[in-house]
Amino acid sequence: MTDLGQMFEETCRKYPDNTALIYEDQVIDYRALDRAVSGLAHHFQTLGLGRGDKAALMLPNCPEFVIAYFACQRIGAVAVTLNVLSTAYELSHLLADSDARVFITQPSLARRFEEIRNDLPLCRHLLTTDDLKRIAAEGPFTIDIPDIAPDDPAVMIYTSGLTGKPLGAVLTHHNLLTQATLIKLICNGDERFRGLAVIPLFHSFGAVANMLGPMWVGASIVLMERFTLDSIFKTIENEKVNYIAAVPRLFMGMVFHDKADQYNVRSLEFCITGGSAMPPEFIPLFREKFGVLLVEGYGLTEASPVCSVSRLEMPVKPGSIGIPIPGTRARVVDEDGRDMPAGEIGELLIQGENVMKGYYKNPEMTARVIRNGWLHTGDLARIDEDGYIFLTGRIKRMVITSGFNVYPVEVETVLNMHPCVQASRIEGKPDLIRGEIVKALIVPKPGVSPDEKSIMKHCRTYLSSYKIPREIEFVDKIE
Contacts of 351 (CB under 8 A, 6+ apart): 328, 329, 330, 331, 373, 374, 375
In this prediction, residue 167 has a pLDDT band, given cuts at 50, 70 and 90, of: very high
pLDDT score for 458: 96
What pLDDT band is residue 139 in, cutting at 50, 70 and 90? Answer: low
Region of residue 291 (phi > 0: left; psi between -120 and 50: alpha; otherwise: beta): left
Burial class, 137, CB count within 10 angstroms (exposed 0-12 / middle 13-18 / buried 19+): exposed
Beta-bridge mates of residue 376: 349
Amino acid at the residue 398: M
Check residue 347 and give its pLDDT: 97
Band the pLDDT of 1: cuts 50, 70, 90: confident
What pLDDT digit, counting tens, does each position of 351-364 carry? Answer: 999 999 999 999 99
Q: Indicate whether 393 pLDDT > 60.
A: yes
Q: Report which of 351, 386, 392 is spatially closest to residue 371, judged by C-alpha positions.
A: 351
Residue of 197 and 162 predicted with greater confidence: 197
Q: Which H/E stretch holds residue 9?
A: helix 4-14
Whether the pLDDT of residue 378 is over 80: the answer is yes
The mean pLDDT value for 56-71 works out to 98
Handedness of CA 77, 83, 84, 88 (dihedral sign): negative
Report pLDDT digits (tens) over 228-276.
Answer: 999 999 999 999 999 999 999 999 999 999 999 999 999 999 999 998 8
Size (the chain), residues: 479
> Which CATH number is 4-180's, of 3.40.50.12780, 3.30.70.960, 3.40.50.720, 2.60.120.10?
3.40.50.12780
**Mean pLDDT over residues 53-67, rounded?**
98
Cite the residue boundaries of each domain of the chain with CATH code 3.40.50.12780.
Answer: 4-180, 195-394
pLDDT value for 162: 57
For the domain covering 399-474, report its CATH number: 3.30.300.30
Looking at the chain, the domain(s) classified CATH 3.30.300.30 span 399-474
- 400: left (phi > 0), else alpha (psi -120 to 50), else beta? beta
Q: Given pLDDT bands bounded at 50, 70 and 90, which one contains residue 316? A: confident
pLDDT of residue 141 exceeding 80, the answer is no
| CATH architecture for the domain at 195-394 | 3-Layer(aba) Sandwich (3.40)
Backbone dihedral angles phi then psi of residue 270, each to the nearest 5 degrees? -165, 160
Average pLDDT over residues 43-55: 97
pTM of the model: 0.92
Pairing label, strands 270-273, 293-299: parallel
